Chains A and B, each alone.
Chain A
Amino acid sequence: QQLFVGDQVLRVSARNEEQISLLGVLGEQEELQVDFWRHPNSPGHPVDLRVPFLTLQGVKKFLDFHNFSYSIMIEDVQELLDEEKESMRRSRRI
């Protein structure tokens, strides 16, 4: 089973078309394994991306370097998944 320990979901805001294109470039770098949960659309629309723990530093560096403003939407994906699993287990037991 694939685990997502330390993976984060970042909410990124693109200010202009150039930044939208840069997010496209980020997505094309397969080694970063960025998983877009909400794709780049137009400036002002939030973009959500799940970033594996191993490439988190690289992706954040990229965002900082290109002056993106972003926040951490999910701090640790696996924590939420564990909660979800536990809630299903509880419901089944009941």
Chain B
Amino acid sequence: KRSSRTFDFASYHTIDEIYDWMDVLVEDHPSLVSKIQIGQSYENRPLYVLKFSTGGRNRPAIWLDTGIHAREWITHATGVWTANKIASEYGQDPSVTAILDSMDIFLEIVTNPDGFAFTHSSNRLWRKTRSKYSGNLCVGVDPNRNWDAGFGEAGASSSSCSETYHGPYANSEPEVKSIVDFVQSHGNIKAFVSIHSYSQLLLYPYGYTYTAVPDQQELHEVSAKAVAALSSLYGTQYKYGSIITTIYRASGGTIDWTYNQGIKYSFTFELRDTGRYGFLLPAKQIVPTAEETWLALKVIMEHARDNLY
């Protein structure tokens, strides 16, 4: 049997390697980690979520996801490293232990498996899902424009060939609908962090409107603290703010929907880098990226733990 300890975190991996490793992680930490399937993708790949739980029923929870945009490989790699970190720090790190003693963590590492498999087999720079709709010229939908929050408004494209195509209707993508169903049936998710790359940003809602969220001040303060923690490790510079004021108008985005569902601590990251490699960040930067991101994630998770609502 392979051990999760021999896995090379400083390398990029295929979906099969990641899924195999998830099983090993579960085997190595059976009382903490389990794997649940929340649905299946358009091409029938399982959508797996790692659940980190020390017990209790329907505890308040934190959701993390990586890889909703297929070509952002640093995010899947960060997700793998983070899963291992959570598992290995429980019982060692007082902060992680305290989080897991009162909350569950859910982590979806390969959020867009069809797209990710396609980046390994056919087109390394593929971003979208792989769904086909009759009448559409091109394949795939941008799963970060497919949520029911300002769906189809400015900040998404109605052209199927565009990288920001919003899809025929909200939640048309099973990869999105599965998370929607999971979040709604769980009903007790208190923090939701969706991880993208690149450009070094920590963002909170909204993307589809300039209207400030009611919790803007608190989210802004948490962002400042998280970014300070992140930068403390390697000096990586992040900007933070609402999506629409910091990057651009984007409708149908993940965390706009989660915020509107009542998940106050909704954030999205854009990981390294500032513009030397873009989506082709060299593998030797995986661990440093994951390490610095972890510090910011911890700030957000701790804040959620200490400010349950």
**Interface residues, chain A, CB within 8 Å of chain B?**
1-2, 4, 9, 11, 30, 35-41, 46, 48, 50, 73-74, 77, 80-81, 83-84, 87-88, 91-92, 94
Contacts and interface: CB of A to CB of B under 8 A. Distances in A.
A94 B275 contact: no
B122 A87 contact: no
B122 A48 contact: no
A41 B282 CA distance: 26
Contacts of A88: 11-13, 283
A30 B161 contact: yes
A11 B12 CA distance: 25
A80 B278 CA distance: 11
Given A1-B121, A35-B163, A46-B275, A84 B247 contact: no
Nearest to B250: A39
B15 interface: no
B248 interface: yes
A81 B279 contact: no
Contact of A73 (B124, B247, B275): B275
B93 interface: no
Given A35-B163, A91-B11, A81 B275 contact: no
Contacts of B161: 30
- Tell me the dominant secondary structure on chain B's binding face: loop
9 contacts: A1-B122, A35-B125, A37-B198, A39-B248, A41-B247, A73-B278, A84-B124, A88-B11, A91-B283
A55 to B, nearest CB: 15
A1 B282 CA distance: 21
A89 to B, nearest CB: 10
A39 B10 CA distance: 29
Contacts of B11: 87-88, 91-92
B276 interface: yes
Nearest 10 pairs between A and B by C-beta? A91-B11, A2-B123, A80-B280, A41-B248, A91-B8, A37-B278, A87-B283, A88-B12, A81-B124, A11-B275
Contacts, number: 63
B247 A9 contact: no
Contacts of B309: none
B212 to A, nearest CB: 18
A91 B122 CA distance: 21
A88 B13 CA distance: 7
Given A40-B248, A41-B247, A84-B280, 9 more contacts: A9-B278, A46-B275, A48-B278, A50-B278, A73-B275, A74-B278, A77-B280, A91-B11, A91-B283
Contacts of B248: 39-41
Interface string B161-181: 101000000000000000000
Given A1-B122, A39-B247, A50-B125, A83 B282 contact: yes
Nearest to B162: A27
B34 interface: no
A90 to B, nearest CB: 8
Contact of A81 (B121, B198, B199, B280): B280
B142 to A, nearest CB: 12
B234 interface: no
Contacts of A84: 12, 124, 280, 282-283
A30 B159 CA distance: 11
A35 B163 CA distance: 8
Nearest to A27: B162
Given A4-B125, A41-B247, A84-B12, A48 B275 contact: yes
A12 to B, nearest CB: 11
A1 B161 CA distance: 19
A38 B8 contact: no
